[in-house]
Structure 1
Amino acid sequence: MPGGEEMSPGEALRTARIAVDQHMTKKLDDEHMWHEETATDILLSTASPRIRYKAFGKDHEKEHGADWLWCWVDRDGTTFCLLVQAKILKRAPSGKRWTIDFAYKTRGDKEHRPQISKLIAASDRYEAAAAYVLYCGDPEYRATLECDRRHDGAPCRERQRVGVSAVSALVAENAVTYYGRDAGVAAFHTAVPVEDIAGSDNLDTPIVPLTRGLPEDLAHFLRQPQRGARRAAKELLRPVEQIRAGQFSTATLERAAPAAGALFPDLPADRGHFSVPYLSHMLRGLRAETPGYVRDVMEGRTPPAWVTAHLAGIVLVTDADAQPATGGWIADSASGPVENRTSSAMTPGTRGAA
Structure 2
Amino acid sequence: MLEAEHAGFAWGEETVTELLLVAAGPEVRAFPFNKRQEGGKNGSGADWLWWWIGDEGVSFGTLIQAKRLKKEPGGRWDLDFDYNGGKQWASLMSAARALQVAPTYALYTGSPRYRHPVACTKPHHPEDFMLCDQCIRKTVSLLPALLLAPGSALGSDPAWAYELAAPLEDLVDPHRHVAAMPFYPYLELSPDLVRFLFSAQTGPKRVAKELVEQIRRVRAGQFGLATADPVEVSSEDYTFPTLPDDRLHVGEPYFPNILRGLRNSPPGYVLELLANDDPETVSELALGLDDVSLAGVVIVNQRGR
TM-score range, shorter chain: 0.7 to 0.9
Compute the displacement of 1:194 (Å). Answer: 0.4
2:16 to 24, 32, 39: 39
Q: Which amino acid aligns with 1:312?
A: A
Spell out, residue by residue over 1:92-144, the C-alpha distance to the aligned partner (whole angstroms, 9 max, x if none): 1211x101111111xxxxxx652111111110111000001111011111113
Which whole-Å CA distance do the structure 2 matches of 1:202 and 1:54 have between them?
A: 28
Q: Which amino acid aligns with 2:106?
A: V
Which whole-Å CA distance do the structure 1 matches of 2:80 and 2:231 have between them?
A: 31
Could you tell me whether the CA contact under 8 Å between 1:71 and 1:79 is conserved in 2? yes
- Match of 2:182, SS state, is coil
Which whole-Å CA distance do the structure 2 matches of 1:308 and 1:56 have between them?
A: 11
2:69 to 61, 65, 89: 89
- Unaligned runs of 5+ residues in structure 1 are 1-23, 106-111, 324-354
Q: Which amino acid aligns with 2:238?
A: A
1:117 to 69, 90, 109: 90
- Unaligned runs of 5+ residues in structure 2 are none
Which whole-Å CA distance do the structure 2 matches of 1:209 and 1:66 have between them?
A: 33
Cα–Cα, structure 1 residues 80 and 179, in superposed 2: closer, same or farther, change >3 Å? closer
Could you tell me whether the CA contact under 8 Å between 1:172 and 1:183 is conserved in 2? no
2:299 to 316, 319, 336: 316
Compute the displacement of 1:185 (Å). Answer: 1.5
Which whole-Å CA distance do the structure 2 matches of 1:204 and 1:280 have between them?
A: 19
Which whole-Å CA distance do the structure 1 matches of 2:65 and 2:274 have between them?
A: 22
Compute the displacement of 1:312 (Å). Answer: 1.3
Which whole-Å CA distance do the structure 2 matches of 1:233 and 1:274 have between them?
A: 21
The residue aligned with 2:148 is 172
Cα–Cα, structure 1 residues 179 and 164, in superposed 2: closer, same or farther, change >3 Å? closer
- Match of 1:41, SS state, is helix
The residue aligned with 2:189 is 214
1:153 maps to 2:127: no
Could you tell me whether the CA contact under 8 Å between 1:60 and 1:67 is conserved in 2? no
Which aligned pairs between 1:182-221 and structure 2 lie closer than 5 A?
182-210=156-184, 212-221=187-196
Which whole-Å CA distance do the structure 2 matches of 1:137 and 1:227 have between them?
A: 28
Which whole-Å CA distance do the structure 2 matches of 1:38 and 1:224 have between them?
A: 37
Which whole-Å CA distance do the structure 2 matches of 1:221 and 1:69 have between them?
A: 24
Cα–Cα, structure 1 residues 115 and 202, in superposed 2: closer, same or farther, change >3 Å? same
Aligned residues: 286
Which aligned pairs between 1:249-328 and structure 2 lie closer than 5 A?
249-260=224-235, 261-300=237-276, 301-302=281-282, 303-304=284-285, 305-307=287-289, 310=292, 311-318=294-301, 320-323=302-305
1:143 to 93, 116, 122: 116
Cα–Cα, structure 1 residues 83 and 198, in superposed 2: closer, same or farther, change >3 Å? same
Spell out, residue by residue over 1:7-56, the C-alpha distance to the aligned partner (whole angstroms, 9 max, x if none): xxxxxxxxxxxxxxxxx111111222110000000000111222111011
Cα–Cα, structure 1 residues 234 and 60, in superposed 2: closer, same or farther, change >3 Å? farther
1:101 maps to 2:72: no
Q: Which amino acid aligns with 1:317?
A: V
Spell out, residue by residue over 1:263-320, the C-alpha distance to the aligned partner (whole angstroms, 9 max, x if none): 01110112131311100111000011111111121111445423266321110012x1
The residue aligned with 1:344 is none
Spell out, residue by residue over 1:164-195, the C-alpha distance to the aligned partner (whole angstroms, 9 max, x if none): 11111012227x52156x42222111111101
Spell out, residue by residue over 1:148-178, the C-alpha distance to the aligned partner (whole angstroms, 9 max, x if none): xx634367x864211111111012227x521
- Match of 1:39, SS state, is helix
Could you tell me whether the CA contact under 8 Å between 1:83 and 1:129 is conserved in 2? yes
Compute the displacement of 1:70 (Å). Answer: 0.6
1:78 maps to 2:58: yes
Spell out, residue by residue over 1:244-270, the C-alpha distance to the aligned partner (whole angstroms, 9 max, x if none): 111111111111123222101110112
The residue aligned with 1:233 is 208
Could you tell me whether the CA contact under 8 Å between 1:208 and 1:222 is conserved in 2? no
Which whole-Å CA distance do the structure 2 matches of 1:297 and 1:120 have between them?
A: 25
Compute the displacement of 1:205 (Å). Answer: 2.3
The residue aligned with 1:48 is 25
Spell out, residue by residue over 1:61-93, the C-alpha distance to the aligned partner (whole angstroms, 9 max, x if none): 971111111101113111100000111111112
Compute the displacement of 1:230 (Å). Answer: 0.3
Q: Which amino acid aligns with 1:297?
A: L
